[in-house]
Amino acid sequence: MKNMYDCYTLNNGVKNPCLGYGTYKAADGKSADIIQMAIEAGYRYFDTASFYGTEEYLAEAIRRSGVPREEFFITSKAWKTQMGYENVKEAFRQSLEALKTDYLDLYLIHWPLPEEGYSNWKQLDKETWRGLEELYEEGKVKAIGVSNFLPHHIENLLEDCRVRPAVDQIEFHPGYTQEMTVRYCQEKDILVQAWSPIGRRALLDNEMLQEMAGQYGVSVAQLCIRYAIQRGIVPLPKSSAMERMKQNQDVFGFEITEEDMYRLGTMPQTGWSGLHPDAGSVRRPEK
Ligand SMILES: NC(=O)C1=CN([C@@H]2O[C@H](COP(=O)(O)OP(=O)(O)OC[C@H]3O[C@@H](n4cnc5c(N)ncnc54)[C@H](OP(=O)(O)O)[C@@H]3O)[C@@H](O)[C@H]2O)C=CC1
Ligand SMILES: O=C1CO[C@H](CO)[C@@H](O)[C@@H]1O
């Protein structure tokens, strides 16, 4: 990958850019200004979700930019309360309306249903997936996938799906690398996307990372973003400052050595999702 516009080819042939901008909490001021700044910084790939409340601001920022819709890659997601065949189709319709567009590039199930409390989780995940398959077959979305799914959740869908998931978006950063899920997806040609690729700032004070970043002449954030790219994973960093938005794209001019990749991949595991058996069980508290 040479710059953030370079793409991976998904398992259905659609191109997925190798680095995007995450919009969770990117409109805290309840306006389109931050996302507009991200477009000015050069981002064309935006990750949103019905849960974020940023879809309308993304639409407004795109409108203000004057950049044609086709130049953007837009992902949205169905939230936990929008599971089920009919619900997910209605959720998708609402996302299109909020985003003021007639298609999405990628649509994801945001979380699998929890196994505790949902004895029918397998069936409900499958029914929700049927809804996504239908939206895909109708041409309303170019690719469909999942988020926060572990291998057994994906296996459940693969049992009788018509369309294979193209993507799994999971928490991924040094110190939370979900090796089992990453390996499973990469073997099955499911593209892994990294949420919180810089660990929501929690990694910025880490001495080992600071020292390593210093050796490459980059920031800890850049080191983390580059780490995902070298793993063949799509980082979706969020920033609300122009300087950091640009810094987070400037990750194609250095190469992390194999030895350092190993060190980054074997740090003690602590994450936000904390639910993933292959990534340690320590959950980082929400601030
Ligand atoms: N599928 C899912 O369940 C989830 C998906 N996501 C997606 O992933 C995206 C990114 O994840 P997110 O949780 O926001 O975490 P990130 O790892 O992107 O971290 C964002 C934080 O890091 C700071 N930051 C960004 N760039 C720099 C930099 N260069 N130097 C120092 N600090 C920096 C930001 O501050 P500042 O804004 O001040 O720059 C912000 O506080 C989300 O926006 C969302 O789109 C996130 C969580 C779950
Ligand atoms: O996308 C998301 C943004 O962050 C939230 C809080 O950690 C997550 O629950 C959610 O999946």
Confidence of residue 28 (pLDDT cuts 50, 70, 90): confident
What pLDDT does residue 273 have?
81
What pLDDT does residue 274 have?
61
- Which amino acid belongs to residue 148? N
Q: Is the pLDDT of residue 13 over 90?
A: yes
DSSP assigned state of 10: P
Q: Is the pLDDT of residue 119 over 50?
A: yes
Q: Is the pLDDT of residue 278 over 60?
A: no
> Measured in angstroms, how far is the CA atom of residue 123 from the centroid of ligand 1?
33
What pLDDT does residue 281 have?
45
Q: What is the pLDDT of residues 256-276, one digit of tens each?
A: 999 999 999 999 888 888 655
Which residues touch 137 (CB under 8 Å, ≥6 apart)? Answer: 162, 163
**Which percentage of the chain shows pLDDT scores above 70?**
95
- Helices of type H across 66-120: 85-99
Q: Is the pLDDT of residue 280 over 80?
A: no
Q: What is the pLDDT of residues 141-196, one digit of tens each?
A: 999 999 999 999 999 999 999 999 999 999 999 999 999 999 999 999 999 999 99
- Which amino acid belongs to residue 213? A
> Measured in angstroms, how far is the CA atom of residue 111 from the centroid of ligand 2?
9
- CA gap 261, 198 in Å, rounded: 15
- CA gap 245, 19 in Å, rounded: 12
Strands 7-9 and 191-195: unpaired
Strand (E) positions, the chain?
A: 7-9, 15-17, 21-22, 45-47, 73-78, 104-109, 141-147, 167-171, 191-195, 234-235
Q: Is the pLDDT of residue 235 over 70?
A: yes
- CA gap 145, 129 in Å, rounded: 9
- CA gap 105, 92 in Å, rounded: 12
Ligand nearest to the CA of residue 237, numbered in listed order? 1
Active-site residue identified among 52, 57, 107, 136: 52
- Helices of type H across 74-197: 85-99, 121-137, 151-158, 179-187
Q: Is the pLDDT of residue 279 over 60?
A: no
What pLDDT does residue 272 have?
83
Confidence of residue 284 (pLDDT cuts 50, 70, 90): low
> Measured in angstroms, how far is the CA atom of residue 253 from the centroid of ligand 2?
31
**Which percentage of the chain shows pLDDT scores above 90?**
90
**CA-CA-CA-CA dihedral for 172, 175, 176, 179, to nearest 10:** 100
Helix (H, G, I), strand (E, B) or coil at 40: helix
> In the structure, which protein residues have their CB atom closer than 6 angstroms to any atom of ligand 2?
24, 49, 110, 272
Q: What is the pLDDT of residues 51-103, one digit of tens each?
A: 999 999 999 999 999 999 999 999 999 999 999 999 999 999 999 999 999 99
> Measured in angstroms, how far is the CA atom of residue 258 from the centroid of ligand 2?
31
Phi/psi region, residue 109 (left: phi>0; alpha: psi -120 to 50; beta: rest), is beta
Ligand 2 atom with the smallest distance to the CA of 25 is 3
| Average pLDDT score, the chain | 95
Ligand 1 atom with the smallest distance to the CA of 248 is 29
What pLDDT does residue 121 have?
95
Residue nearest to atom 2 of ligand 2 (CA): 24
Look up 52 and say whether it is catalytic.
yes
ipTM of the prediction: 0.99
Which whole-number Å values give the CA distances from 59 to 2, 90, 92, 244, in the listed order? 28, 19, 15, 22
Residue nearest to atom 8 of ligand 2 (CA): 273
Ligand nearest to the CA of residue 167, numbered in listed order? 1
Task: Give the CB-side neighbour count of residue 108, counting CA atoms within 13 A.
Answer: 27
